[in-house]
Amino acid sequence: MPAELGTEDEFRILVATDNHLGYQEKHGERGSDSMTTFEEILQLAHEKEADFILLGGDLFHENKPSRNCVIQCSQLLKKYCLGDRPVAFEYLSDPSQDFCMQEPRVNFHDPNLNIAMPVFSIHGNHDDISGLGDTAALELLSVAGLINYFGRWTDLKSVRLAPVLLQKGQTKLALYGLGNVRDERLHRIFTGGNRMMGSSVATSLCDAEAKPKAVGLLTVRGKEFRMESVPLRTVRPFVFRTLRLSECASLDLTVRDVSAAVQQYVAAYVDDLLLEAEEQLTGHEKQPRRPLVRLRVEYSDENQVFQGVRFGQKYSDRVANPEDMIMLKRERTEAEARADAVDGGAMAAVVQHEEMRVEDFVVQYFAQLEEGAGLHVLDERKMGVAVNRFVLKQEIGAISDVVKHQIKRAVAELQARSPLEVSEANAREELARAREERAQKKLEKMNGSGATAATAATADKLRADSDEEEEEMRGVLEGGSPPPPPLPDVAAVTIISDSDSDDVMMPDDPPAL
């Protein structure tokens, strides 16, 4: 580093990401894992004498975290981020450009707060903006002055970032942040390069999550910098393995009770995994001792199958996840591998370009079905919106809420028609007619009172492209469901349905500022 610059010119930034606070919070054994490691990260920031903490998204595991989760997070931030320690750097940029608050300001400029360890954070795909007013859970912490939430951007047609400008001595730092945006949309901007994922808690039992967890200490002095990996010591031990029975030379698969032989072999294998998990113990007093174990057992014959959940219960006092410790999977044959390649080609034919949204995929799927095989009570576009919220924002009740809303609306529309027009035999036709009438009204509203008719194709396109459906569904999902059409004073019609209603990206060689 340049000799003319000293430690008074050096930024020390603790970088962490994917904390997933609240993950498995109702689990008896794993409920406090994410909070324990988050507290370790806050402690490390003080031990390493960091100037501030930079969180790269997914602080919370859900965009609507429980009150208990938000309270625990707030208590930790209050404990480790407030105090008399002076902030050793300056904030130079315009807070109205950086922060989306009613009275935007960086929290250590608030005269009512004593901030000792500033925290800057963007949102991720788990704690994305949603709900009434398009708010994020991070805004709760931001309004309370506990973090500085930046990088929120909603205009996806044009992404323009204003940097957070900081200065310490002679070192100037431009901090660019962009909250979660679909990867496909940013593909043209961020392409190529090897990236690694930093995550402080295992949120899925896969091989990628079984890697050692760490945070990064970024040191910046002048235009030079380095990144130091700091291992986390409170992370629950986790081992992941795949066991292919057909390749186990010491396993005799010709015995009469093959399943029993397999279970005996797997039990010995799990014992070895538990010994391996003990090697991940760091000695930290808050590190959980019961490890996560995921063993994927691939079998080639149904006689080799056994009850994975029952088997796992034998280890209920030794592992943290006995209920899903074993995953049984049939070994793929060569013919199935070739078939998968064919299915992949068919999927590529449906998803023709990278900009296709989940809701567009749902609409296109039903459009390709034979006539009469699509949806009659439900609307494709509205169901697409529900699937989007379910997949991307993990709103578990999104699909059921939208289905219930549309069923109520369909019943109200049938009740609003003359009882002489509606019967059990023609209910489907009447619903289709009501849908066409709604599309026609929209077309007339768009074209003026002179419009009198519309082709089916025009009506379908108008319905598909209209933003009103998305706004209506947003109201439904936010709890403000619009009321169904008023009912006339006619006899009611009852319809009974016969259907039953699963980061910060840091380059290996980051560019100099």
Sign of CA dihedral 83, 88, 13, 503: positive
Coil, strand or helix: which one is 405?
helix
Q: For residues 220 and 7, give the distance between their C-alpha atoms in angstroms, rounded to a whole number.
A: 10
Token pair recorded at residue 322: 């006995």
Give start and end residues of each alpha helix (H) in 192-306. 258-278
Q: For residues 510 and 74, give the distance between their C-alpha atoms in angstroms, rounded to a whole number.
A: 32
Q: For residues 159 and 190, give the distance between their C-alpha atoms in angstroms, rounded to a whole number.
A: 13
Give start and end residues of each alpha helix (H) in 117-256. 138-143, 183-186
Contacts of 476 (CB under 8 A, 6+ apart): 401, 402, 405, 482
Token pair recorded at residue 104: 């935007």
Q: Give the largest CA-CA distance in the chain.
A: 92
Clarify whether 126 is annotated catalytic.
Answer: yes
Q: Which residue is catalytic, options 20, 61, 126, 405? A: 126
Does an H or E element contain 493, and which? none
Contacts of 502 (CB under 8 A, 6+ apart): 204
How many CB atoms sit inside 10 A of residue 370's CB?
A: 6
Q: What letter does residue 393 receive in the DSSP assignment?
A: S
* 87, 56 Cβ separation under 8 angstroms: no
Q: Return the exposure string of 326-337: e unless at least 16 CB atoms fall within 10 Å of the residue's CB, then b.
A: bebeeeeeeeee
* 406, 377 Cβ separation under 8 angstroms: yes
Q: For residues 23 and 14, give the distance between their C-alpha atoms in angstroms, rounded to a whole number.
A: 22
Q: For residues 417 and 491, give the distance between their C-alpha atoms in angstroms, rounded to a whole number.
A: 10
Strand 90-91 vs strand 164-168: parallel, antiparallel, or unpaired?
antiparallel
Using a 10 angstrom Cβ sphere, with 0-12 exposed, 13-18 middle and 19 or more buried, the burial of residue 309 is exposed
Q: For residues 291 and 205, give the distance between their C-alpha atoms in angstroms, rounded to a whole number.
A: 12
Instruction: Report angle CA 505, 64, 96 to the nearest 5 degrees.
Output: 65
151: left (phi over 0), alpha (psi -120 to 50) or beta: left
Q: For residues 483 and 405, give the distance between their C-alpha atoms in angstroms, rounded to a whole number.
A: 9
Beta-ladder partners of 196: 506
Does an H or E element contain 54, and which? strand 52-55
Residue positions annotated with a catalytic role? 126
